[in-house]
A and B are shown apart, each in its own frame.
Chain A
């Protein structure tokens, strides 16, 4: 009986506040080795296939990677120029310059095995500076956010979890909405989209950064269906997540630099704005 009351108390406190997160972190530090052991067969088979792969496959893979690297290098060149240009234009507009985000590579060490909860365990924890609420991306797009930090590992909630939502905007026209998880691996739903909104199948959704949690501009999903029923207030818009949620083994933890932007940039921006008219005739 006493245990039932303690359980109920813990449950209510845990669901409604973050008071118990130190306790959770402590327990998570105890149980995280279980995840490491459970994952070890996959690690062994991975390293075995890496050592046993043939010369030909390695050469082929190497060639492909080289090609891809070359392509990406070209894109990066453009990106550098565009970033400079963007920074200059933003300065002319007087808005704050966005700094680059720092990232930390983490590896998946486990998947929470419930068909209704979408969380994974990664191998970086509080000793690497990971914090609750941190955004996680993979090579393709937004992956989720950190919900629990232990000392050497942490828990990431995927953006398709039914308890997850992320502020997004349509890349084509900056229409803002919220992409909520549905508890299905391949589906996000946009909330509160008026039936008159300009949104089409194939539109790319990127994070809008408005919630303050996620950095701006990472791809979140691609609109797969738009149902507009004139008798309803809101359109039903479904999207497919862009990140490889069920395949990525490596993810990136984003240390958002926005928070570090100081107001000292403001005078420079104003100066730039003052000089701007003089440059216009060119």
Chain B
């Protein structure tokens, strides 16, 4: 048996997602490659909330979001709000999302990532003079493509370490 229910596994996967989110490309890579990065954190948080809704609540998602704000140099509170809202939406519909096929879940991921990226862009725009662009569609698309892989990997991790 697993006394802590594998809470450390969840934390570790989230830390890994943060790591992937800031791992940068070689200096000679073209700059537009930066746009292709999937929103690893959204994927990981979405998976855990859907699979184990009682393990990851809105408060913890919000605290993770605060750390991400500092990590991404976003205004404080943006990612906290995004991740908490994402948790709320997923938590409300998790039974339905679980029944979906991987492709349908991918569509949900597309909308969730688009939503979070949109909020981030708005905050950057009004707070720091950032540009509004359609570029936010790109991480949404790449996250959708990455979703089956992430879901499969996290599923393996969940059963391997008996996270419940």
Interface residues, chain A, with chain B CB atoms under 8 Å away: 3-4, 6-11, 13-15, 20, 23-24, 27-28, 30-31, 34-35, 37-39, 42, 110-117, 119, 147-148, 155, 162-163, 183, 185, 246-247
Q: How many A-B residue pairs have CB under 8 A?
A: 119
**In the complex the two chains form, what is the Cα distance from A20 to B133 in whole Å?**
29
Q: Do B131 and A246 touch (CB < 8 A)? A: no
Q: Do A117 and B124 touch (CB < 8 A)? A: yes
Q: A11-B76, A14-B75 are in contact. Are A31 and B70 (CB under 8 A)?
A: yes
Q: Is the interface of B mostly helix, strand, loop or mixed?
A: helix
Question: Which chain B residues border A6 with CB–CB below 8 Å?
Answer: 62, 77
B 95-131 contacts with A by CB, 8 A? 121, 123-124, 126-131
* B58 interface hit (Cβ, 8 Å): yes
Shortest Cβ distance from residue A139 to the other chain B in the assembled complex, whole angstroms = 16
Shortest Cβ distance from residue B116 to the other chain A in the assembled complex, whole angstroms = 13
**In the complex the two chains form, what is the Cα distance from A28 to B32 in whole Å?**
27
Q: How many residues of B contact A (CB 8 A)?
A: 44
* B59 interface hit (Cβ, 8 Å): yes
Q: From A6, which residue of chain B is reached at the shortest CB distance?
A: B77
Q: Do A114 and B34 touch (CB < 8 A)? A: yes
Q: Do B77 and A38 touch (CB < 8 A)? A: no
Q: Do A11 and B77 touch (CB < 8 A)? A: yes
**In the complex the two chains form, what is the Cα distance from A38 to B129 in whole Å?**
28
**In the complex the two chains form, what is the Cα distance from A280 to B160 in whole Å?**
89
Q: Do B72 and A117 touch (CB < 8 A)? A: yes
Q: CB within 8 A of A117: which of B67, B73, B77?
A: B73
**In the complex the two chains form, what is the Cα distance from A24 to B58 in whole Å?**
21
Shortest Cβ distance from residue A206 to the other chain B in the assembled complex, whole angstroms = 24
Q: Do B76 and A112 touch (CB < 8 A)? A: no
Q: A110-B24, A116-B131 are in contact. Are A9 and B71 (CB under 8 A)?
A: no
Shortest Cβ distance from residue B21 to the other chain A in the assembled complex, whole angstroms = 7
* B15 interface hit (Cβ, 8 Å): yes
Question: Which chain A residues border B58 with CB–CB below 8 Å?
Answer: 3
**In the complex the two chains form, what is the Cα distance from A39 to B126 in whole Å?**
31
* B49 interface hit (Cβ, 8 Å): no
Known: A115-B34, A117-B74, A148-B70. 19 other contacts (CB 8 A): A4-B85, A7-B80, A10-B76, A10-B77, A20-B76, A27-B66, A31-B67, A34-B22, A38-B24, A112-B22, A112-B71, A114-B72, A115-B135, A116-B124, A116-B130, A116-B131, A148-B73, A162-B130, A183-B131
